[in-house]
Amino acid sequence: MSREGEMRLGKLIVLLLISSVCLFSLGKEGEGGCLDCHPRIKERIEKGRAHSPVKEERCTRCHSPHTSDYPHLLKGRLSEVCARCHKEGPKMAFSHLPVQRGECGKCHDPHGSPHPHLLRLAEKDLCLDCHKKEKALSGKALHAPAREGCLDCHRAHGSAYGALLLVDPGRLCLRCHEDEKLPSLHGVARLDGSHCITCHDPHAGDERLLGPVAHPPFADGNCGGCHRMEGERVGPVERADRELCLSCHEELREAGCRLYSHIQSGLQSNPCLDCHSPHLSKGKDLLRREEKRLCFSCHRDTEQRVLGEEGLYHHPDLDRCSRCHEVHGSNELTMLKGGGDQDVRSVP
């Protein structure tokens, strides 16, 4: 064999050796390879459930072994990498914030976990990691589902209903509370489940989960101030429109005549009830929910910009829309106070 032939044969042997080593290592990414340098991940998956690519020792399904433009050498944005296997269902009207932001790792461990669905923590602990206990579960008594977890009432990723509820709020409470005595205990002919949270907090409160802030007529037992009374039974409201509220709150009537007004129209015939509970509430001004969440329930575009990935910098105090906006009505664009040039630092 010529000198040139020997050199070619030698190169071929070297290439075959390199190829065999590469093929062997590709079949053993997680054993004797990646996990040798990542012992914490190895320990985590040995103690619980392993994510399928990890169990199959295919680290390069998600990670580039050399370089990447993304954290942790991922082959793309985290949400994109996850979506390659976990196909998204139909787009929901309401999405969980981490889902909106593509932050799958906020709730799930991508390698392994002792908890179902590869959750980073037990379900209840995981929810309370963001939804702080002092806000969500403040009160003497806890609603039984809230004590056990959150998914009896809420969906984890998205829902057709606000607050990520499993079903329509009018039916949710009545799935468990179907007692025929409930209407008579409340002094009414029938109960509509959507009205339960006008008095009861769905998470925590006093012994009957009642909110601490009461509408004065309700606190005084004066149901006839707003409702038609049928003997001792509470009947329908005297009026179904905003005049029911404005008959007492005359100071707000002028807000309805402004160029931009919240009390001109709403989701209900009486727009006041879109934001305020007529009976009891957990917070000030009888708001149905905390201010930010209440505003975002209608202003979805603003929610996307404020809570989503858009924009590197966000205005401070975005939990309190009322610091800059008139909540009932304004002649200024976007219902700003004083056209945006008013000093709102002293606003309570």
HEC assignment per residue over the chain: CCHHHHHHHHHHHHHHHHHHHHHHHHCCCCCCCHHHHCHHHHHHHHHCEECHHHHCCCHHHCECCCCCCCHHHECCCHHHHHHCCCCCCCCCCEECHHHHCCCHHHCECCCEECCHHHECCCHHHHHHHHCCHHHHCCCCEECHHHHHCCCCCECCCEECCHHHECCCHHHHHHHCCCCCCHHHHHCCCCCCHHHHHHCECCCEECCCCECCEECHHHHCCCHHHCEEEECCEEEEECCCCCHHHHCCCHHHHHHHHCCEECCCCCCCCCCHHHHECCCEECCHHHECCCHHHHHHCCCHHHHHHHHCCCCCCCCCCCCCHHHCECCCEECCHHHEHHHHCCCCCCCC
* Mean pLDDT score, 14-28: 49
pLDDT at 75: 95
The neighbour count for residue 24, using CB atoms within 10 Å, is: 11
At 156 the pLDDT is 93
Position 117 scores a pLDDT of: 92
Q: Range of 154's domain?
A: 121-211
| Residue 129 lies inside a defined structural domain of this protein | yes
The whole-number average pLDDT for the span 107-114 is 93
Are 204 and 143 contacting, i.e. CB atoms less than 8 angstroms apart?
yes
- 296: nearest Cα among 280, 284, 286, 308: 308
* Residue after which a domain boundary falls, among 178, 211, 244: 211
Note whether residue 147 is domain-resident.
yes
> Would you say residue 321 lies in a domain?
no
Q: What pLDDT is stored for residue 137 in this prediction?
A: 81
Q: How confident is the model at residue 326 (pLDDT cuts 50, 70, 90)?
A: very high
Both 108 and 131 in one domain: the answer is no
Q: Are residues 25 and 111 in the same domain?
A: yes
Give residue-wise pLDDT tens across range 133-148.
777 787 788 898 888 8
Looking at residue 309, what is its pLDDT? 61
| Mean pLDDT, rounded, for 310-333 | 84
Is residue 155 assigned to a domain? yes
Average the pLDDT over each of 12-16, 69-73, 93-97, 330-334 and give the range with the smallest value. Answer: 12-16
- Whole-model pTM: value is 0.73
- Report whether pLDDT(25) > 50: no
Residue with tokens 């209900």: 268
Please identify, among 211, 233, 260, the residue that sits at the C-terminal boundary of a domain. Answer: 211
* Mean confidence (pLDDT) of the chain: 83
Do residues 125 and 109 both lie within one domain? no
pLDDT digits (tens, 9 = 90+) for 249-293: 999 988 888 889 998 876 678 899 889 999 988 888 999 888 888
Same structural domain for residues 133 and 111? no
Residue 142 located in a structural domain: yes
pLDDT in tens, 29-68: 444 478 888 888 888 888 788 999 998 889 999 999 999 9
Number of domains forming the structure of the chain: 2
- The percent of residues in the chain predicted with pLDDT above 70, rounded, is 84
Question: Can you tell me the mean pLDDT for 296-313?
Answer: 78
The Cα–Cα gap between 279 and 212 comes to: 10
Residues 108 and 125 in one domain: no
The more confident residue out of 286 and 297 is 286
User: Between 161 and 22, whose confidence is greater?
Assistant: 161
Domain assignment present for residue 220? The answer is no
**What is d(CA 122, CA 303) in angstroms, rounded to the nearest whole number?**
28
Q: Which of 280, 141, 127 is nearest to 198 (CA)?
A: 280
Sign of CA dihedral 102, 104, 105, 110: negative
- Quickly state the pLDDT bin for 27 (edges 50, 70, 90): very low
Higher per-residue confidence, 317 vs 152: 152
| Whether 136 and 184 share a structural domain | yes
Residue 125 and residue 192 share a domain? yes
| Residue 169 shares a structural domain with residue 185 | yes
Identify the pLDDT of residue 347. 47
| Residue 348 scores a pLDDT above 60 | no
User: Lowest-pLDDT range, 60-69, 178-187, 208-217, 329-338?
Assistant: 178-187
**pLDDT recorded at residue 327:** 92
pLDDT for position 178:
76
158, 179, 211: which is the final residue of a domain?
211
Q: How many CB atoms lie within 10 A of CB 11?
A: 10
Residue 257 domain-assigned? no
Average pLDDT for 145-158: 90
Q: Do residues 41 and 56 share a domain?
A: yes
Identity of the highest mean pLDDT range in 2-16, 29-43, 62-76, 173-187: 62-76
pLDDT digits (tens, 9 = 90+) for 81-104: 999 999 877 788 888 989 988 899
Query: Per residue in 201-245, pLDDT tens?
Result: 888 888 888 888 999 999 999 999 999 888 888 888 898 899 999
Q: Based on the domain organization, do 110 and 33 belong to the same domain?
A: yes
- Both 108 and 185 in one domain: the answer is no
- Does residue 176 lie in a domain region? yes
